[in-house]
Structure 1
Amino acid sequence: MRINRYVAQAGISSRRGADRLIDEGRITINGQVAVTGAQVQEGDVVAFDGVAISLPREDDRVYIAFNKPVGITCTSDRRRKDNIISYINYPKRIFTVGRLDRDSRGLILLTDDGDLAYRLTRTEYGHEKEYRVTVDKSITPSFIESIQKGVPILDTVTMPCRAWQTGDKEFGIILTQGLNRQIRRMCEHFRYSVTDLVRTRIMHIALGSQPVGIWRELTPKETEELLRLSRIKR
C-alpha cells in the first residue's frame, strides 16, 4: 500500500493531507523519513510525528454529518482557534471531507476513512452537493441561465450545473465539482455578492432540521449507501 493511502486509511488525514505530511517529513517508515510513493509492507512500523499509527478495523470507521456554523474553519490544524476539529471535539482522530469556507454554513462530512474522503472530493465521481444561496440584489432569469452553462473563474470554466430561483434574492444550485469558493466566485463574475451560503445536501445525505453547530453519526443505512455510491466495497 502506498504511504499516502496508509496514512489516510489510518485516519490521520485525507490523501492530499497525507501528501503534505510526507513532504514535511512528519511520516516515517521503520524510523526512516518516508518519501512520496513509498510502499508500506506487512510488518512495517509507520509513525506520525514519532507516534506509531495503524489501520483501524473496518467496523470501527467513523462517519459524521455536521451542521457547520459561520466562523468555523475546515482545518485539522488545532493551532487555529476556530478549527472544526476542536469545535466538534470527537474522541477519535477525524478530518473533513472537502471544505466549506469560513463564511459559509451547513452540511459537511467528517470521517477517518481516507479512501472515502478521496473519492468524495474527486470531480470525476460526479457526487452532487446542493446549496441555498442568498445574494445582495434581485436575481434575473439570465443570471440563472448563465451560471448553469459554466462560468470563467480561476483560469478555468466551471462545469455545467443545475440552478433554480427560489426567491427575489435567493437561488438553489447543485454542483459536482468543488473549486475554491466556487459559488461566491461564480456570483461575483456577474456582479452579485453572496450574503448567505448554506450547503443543504451531499449526495443522499440531507441537512434537514439538524441544528446549527450539532453533529451526528450517519445511520447504518446512510453509511451503506455512501460507500455504495463511492464504489467502495467493504
Structure 2
Amino acid sequence: METKRLNKAISETGYCSRREADRLIEAGKVKVNGTVVGLGVQVSPDDKIELEGKLISKEVENIYIAFNKPVGIICTTDTSIKNNIIDYIGHPERIFPIGRLDKPSDGLIFLTNDGDIVNKVLRSGNNHEKEYIVSVDRKITKTFIREMSSGVPVLGTVTKKCEVERIADHTFKIILTQGLNRQIRRMCSYMGYEVTRLQRVRIMNINLDDLKVGEYRYFTPSETEEINRLVANSGKTMDASFD
C-alpha cells in the first residue's frame, strides 16, 4: 500500500501547511492510530490521523481563492485576533492564506485548503512572480529605479535583482520573486523613501483585475491548471514570507 510522510498527509486534508504540521508533530499534538508520533513517520490511507484530539480527513475538493484584501485586515488564521482574514471572508470551509500581505497593504492574496501547494508557491527559489504598485512620499528618480532594480541591503542580505518601472512621479511598479519580511517597505526606506500605499496586483498568472476591495473569487479551471503547471517542478521547502 502506498505511503506518504505524515506532514504531507496532514497538509493534503487542508488542515494546515506542511510547515505548520511539522510544528504540531514536534509539539506532540499528532497521533496516528491512537499513538503520538514524531517527524518523518510514513502513513497509509488506512491510518487514522488525530490532530489536537480531532480526527482529520479530506472531505472537500481543493479550494483556490483570489481575495482583494483591504487595508487593515490581518493575514492570520488566529480568529482570536481582531480583523483576521478568516473571519472577514467567512468561508464555510476551513481555508488559510498562502503567505501574507501586511496589515497596511492591500491587494491580491490567495487562500486555499490545499496545504500541499503552499510551500511550492512561497519558496523564492522557484521564482514565482508577485507584482506590486507602490506609492511613495517623494519624487521617484532614475537613481531610485536603478538601485531598487539592482538590489539593496535589507535584513542582512542584498535583495535579488528585480524589475522596477516608474509609473508616475510618486508611483512605481515592482515585480519580485523574493519575499523577505516587509521587503518593499524596507527597500524604499533604505533609499530614503516612505511607502504611502502598497498594492499587490498579481501573483504568478493570477491578476487582481476588476476584483473589488473586500471581495473574493475562485480560480477559473484554466487558472488552476496553469498554477498546478507552474508549481509542478517547484521545490517544497519554504524560505520566503511572500510579503
TM-score by length of 1: 0.94
- Shift in Å, 1:88: 0.7
> Structure 2 CA distance, aligned partners of 1:25 and 1:192?
46
* Structure 1 residue aligned with 2:20: 17
Q: How much has 1:56 moved relative to structure 2? A: 4.5
The separation in 1 between residues aligned to 2:84 and 2:19, in whole angstroms, is: 18
Secondary structure of the equivalent of 1:174? strand
Mind listing any 5+ residue stretches in structure 1 that lack a counterpart?
none
* 2:135 pairs with 1:143: no
Q: Tell me how far apart the structure 1 counterparts of residues 64 and 211 of structure 2 sit (CA, whole Å).
A: 16
Matched, 1:47 2:47: no
Corresponding residue number in structure 1 for 2:237: none
Worse overlay, 204-213 or 13-22: 13-22
Moved more, 162-171 or 45-54: 45-54
Q: Distance in 1 between matches of 2:34 and 2:157?
A: 43
Which amino acid counterpart does residue 173 of structure 2 have in structure 1?
G
Gaps of 5+ in 2: 234-243
Q: Report the 3-state secondary structure (helix = DSSP H, G, I; strand = E; otherwise coil) of the residue aligned with 2:93.
A: coil
Q: Does the CA-based 8 Å contact 1:144-1:163 persist in structure 2? A: yes
Q: Report the counterpart of residue 85 of structure 1 in structure 2.
A: 86
Partner of 1:99: 100
Q: Aligned-pair distance for 1:130?
A: 0.2
> For 1:1-234, what aligned pairs fall within 5 Å after superposition?
1-56=4-59, 60-231=61-232
Residue 178 of structure 1 and its aligned partner are, at CA, apart by 0.8
Q: How many Å separate the matches in 2 of 1:21 and 1:71?
A: 29
CA offsets, 1:32-78, max 9 Å, x none? Answer: 23322222233211112211111356xx1100000000111111111
In structure 2, what is the Cα distance between the partners aligned to 1:208 and 1:221?
Answer: 16
Q: Give how far 1:115 is off.
A: 2.0
Compare 190-199 and 43-52 and name the one that shifted more: 43-52
Measured after TM superposition, the shift of residue 24 of structure 1 is 3.1
Q: CA RMSD in A?
A: 1.4
Partner of 2:241: none
AA aligned to 1:20 is R
Amino acid across the alignment from 1:35: G
Q: Which residue of 1 aligns with 2:236?
A: none
Kindly indicate whether the alpha-carbon contact (under 8 Å) linking 1:6 and 1:55 is maintained by their aligned counterparts in 2.
no
Looking at structure 2, the residues matched to 195 and 96 of structure 1 have their Cα atoms a distance apart, in angstroms, of 24
Identical columns (%)? 51
Give me the TM-score of the superposition, normalised by structure 2. 0.90
- Which range is displaced more, 116-125 or 39-48? 39-48
Deviation string, structure 1 residues 171-230 (Cα, Å, up to 9, x no partner): 000000111111011111111111100000011110011100001111111111111111
2:47 counterpart letter in structure 1: D
Distance 1:184 1:198 in 2: 12
Matched-pair contact (CA < 8 Å) for 1:66–1:214? yes
CA gap of 1:221–1:198, structure 2 versus 1, over 3 A, is same
* Equivalent residue letter for 2:31: T
